[in-house]
Chains A and B, each alone.
Chain A
Amino acid sequence: MKEFGILISALDGTTKTTEKISAMSSFLQKSSSEDKLWFVALLSGKRPKRPIKTTLLRQWAAEMAKLPLWLLEESYHVVGDLAETVALILPNATKSSDKSLDARMQDLQSLKELKEEEVKNYITTAWSEMNKNERFVFNKLITGGFRVGVSHKLIVKALAEHLGEEENIVSHRLMGDWSPLNTTFEKLLVEADEKENLSRPYPFYLAYPLENEPESLGEVNEWQFEYKWDGIRGQLIHRNGEIYIWSRGEELITERFPELEGLKEILPYDCVIDGEIMAFKDGKPLTFNHLQTRIGRKKISKKILTDSPVVLVAYDLLEEKGDDLRTTPMESRRIKLESVISQTKSPVLLISEKIEPRSWKEAAIIRESSREVLSEGLMLKRKTSNYKVGRRRGDWWKWKVDPMSIDAVMIYAMRGHGRRANLYSDYTFAVWKGEELVPFAKAYSGLTDKEMQAVDRFVKKNTLDRFGPVRSVKPELVFEIGFEGIAPSTRHKSGIALRFPRILRQRFDKKPDEANTLEDLNSILEAYIS
Chain B
Amino acid sequence: MNNPTKLRLFCLTCMPLIEFTDKGLYCEKGGFFIDPWRPVDKAVITHAHADHSRWGMKKYLAHHLSIPVMKLRLGKINTTGMNYGECKRVNGVQLSLHPAGHILGSAQVKVEYKGEIWVISGDYKLIDDKISTPFEPVKCHTLVTESTFGLPVYKWKPQAEVFAEMNQWWRENKEKGLASVILGYSLGKAQRILCSIDSSIGNILLHGAIHNSNLALRECGLQFPKTELITKTTEKEKYRGSLIIAPPSAFGSAWMNKLKPYKVATASGWMTIRGARRRRNVDRGFILSDHADWDELNQAVKLSKAERVYVTHGYTGIFSNWLREQGYDAHPVTTEYEGELSEIGEGASREKESE
Contact = CB atoms under 8 A, between A and B. Distances in A.
**A and B held together in a complex:** yes
A134 to B, nearest CB: 15
A390 interface: no
B272 interface: yes
B265 to A, nearest CB: 10
A449 B279 contact: yes
Nearest to B154: A88
A163 B5 CA distance: 76
A85 B155 CA distance: 12
B340 A461 contact: yes
B283 A421 contact: no
Interface string B106-123: 000000000000000000
Contacts of B341: 457, 460
Given A67-B152, A68-B325, A419 B275 contact: yes
Given A15-B281, A456-B344, A84 B152 contact: no
Interface in B298-355: 315, 317-318, 321-322, 325, 340-341, 343-346
Interface string A60-91: 00000101101110110011110011001100
A93 to B, nearest CB: 13
A507 interface: no
Contact of B153 (A15, A68, A79, A416): A79
B284 interface: yes
A327 interface: no
A81 B322 CA distance: 21
A75 B275 contact: no
Contacts of B284: 13
A449 B344 CA distance: 13
A241 interface: no
B279 A71 contact: no
B283 to A, nearest CB: 7
Contacts of B325: 68
A75 B152 contact: yes
Nearest to A419: B278
B228 to A, nearest CB: 29
B11 interface: no
Contacts of A460: 340-341, 343-344
6 contacts: A68-B325, A78-B153, A81-B275, A84-B274, A419-B275, A460-B343
Interface string B91-133: 0000000000000000000000000000000000000000000
A472 interface: no
Nearest to B294: A89
Interface of B: 151-155, 272-276, 278-279, 281, 283-284, 315, 317-318, 321-322, 325, 340-341, 343-346
Interface in A376-419: 416-419
A423 interface: yes
Given A15-B281, A423-B344, A88 B153 contact: yes
A172 to B, nearest CB: 32
A71 B318 contact: yes
A420 B272 CA distance: 14
A54 interface: no
Given A417-B275, A419-B278, A14 B153 contact: no
B47 to A, nearest CB: 23
Contacts of A72: 152
Contacts of B274: 12, 81, 84, 418, 421
A56 B325 CA distance: 23
Contacts of A466: 317
B344 A65 contact: no
A256 to B, nearest CB: 35
Nearest to A418: B275
A418 B278 contact: yes
Closest 3 CB pairs of A and B: A421-B275, A88-B153, A460-B340
A89 B283 contact: no
Contact of A84 (B273, B283, B318): B273
A370 interface: no
A174 to B, nearest CB: 26
B152 A422 contact: no
A88 B155 contact: yes
Given A75-B152, A78-B151, 17 more contacts: A12-B274, A13-B283, A13-B284, A14-B283, A67-B152, A68-B325, A70-B321, A71-B318, A72-B152, A75-B151, A81-B275, A88-B272, A89-B152, A89-B153, A419-B278, A460-B341, A461-B340
B113 to A, nearest CB: 34
A292 interface: no
Interface in A1-23: 12-15
Interface residues of A, number: 35
Interface of A: 12-15, 65, 67-68, 70-72, 74-75, 78-81, 84-85, 88-89, 416-423, 449, 453, 456-457, 460-461, 466
B273 A71 contact: no
Contact of A422 (B276, B283, B322): B276
A71 B322 contact: yes
A449 B155 CA distance: 27
A70 B322 CA distance: 10
Contacts of A67: 152
A423 B278 CA distance: 12
A79 B273 contact: yes
A306 B59 CA distance: 81
A460 B342 CA distance: 11
A136 B283 CA distance: 20
Between A67, A88, A417, the greatest number of chain B beta carbons within 10 A of the residue's beta carbon is seen for A88
Contacts of B155: 88
Contacts of A75: 151-153
A453 B346 contact: yes
A422 B344 contact: yes
A65 B151 CA distance: 13
B278 A12 contact: yes
Between B275, B283, B318, the greatest number of chain A beta carbons within 10 A of the residue's beta carbon is seen for B275
Contacts of B278: 12, 418-419
A213 to B, nearest CB: 32
Between B278, B318, B325, B341, the greatest number of chain A beta carbons within 10 A of the residue's beta carbon is seen for B278
Given A13-B283, A71-B318, A460-B341, A421 B276 contact: yes
B155 to A, nearest CB: 7
A457 B343 CA distance: 10
Contacts of A85: 153
A12 B273 CA distance: 12
Nearest to A460: B340
B318 to A, nearest CB: 5
Nearest to A463: B340
A35 B325 CA distance: 46
Contact of B275 (A65, A70, A79): A79
A80 B275 contact: yes
A418 B276 CA distance: 9
B314 to A, nearest CB: 11
A457 B325 CA distance: 30
B29 to A, nearest CB: 32
A422 B343 contact: yes
A74 B151 contact: yes
B38 to A, nearest CB: 17
Contacts of A416: 275
A418 B318 CA distance: 22
Contacts of B279: 419-421, 423, 449
Contacts of B317: 466
Contacts of B275: 79-81, 416-423
A333 B84 CA distance: 85
Between B151, B341, B345, B346, the greatest number of chain A beta carbons within 10 A of the residue's beta carbon is seen for B151
Nearest to B276: A422
Given A15-B281, A75-B153, A449-B279, A422 B340 contact: no
Between A75, A78, A89, the greatest number of chain B beta carbons within 10 A of the residue's beta carbon is seen for A78
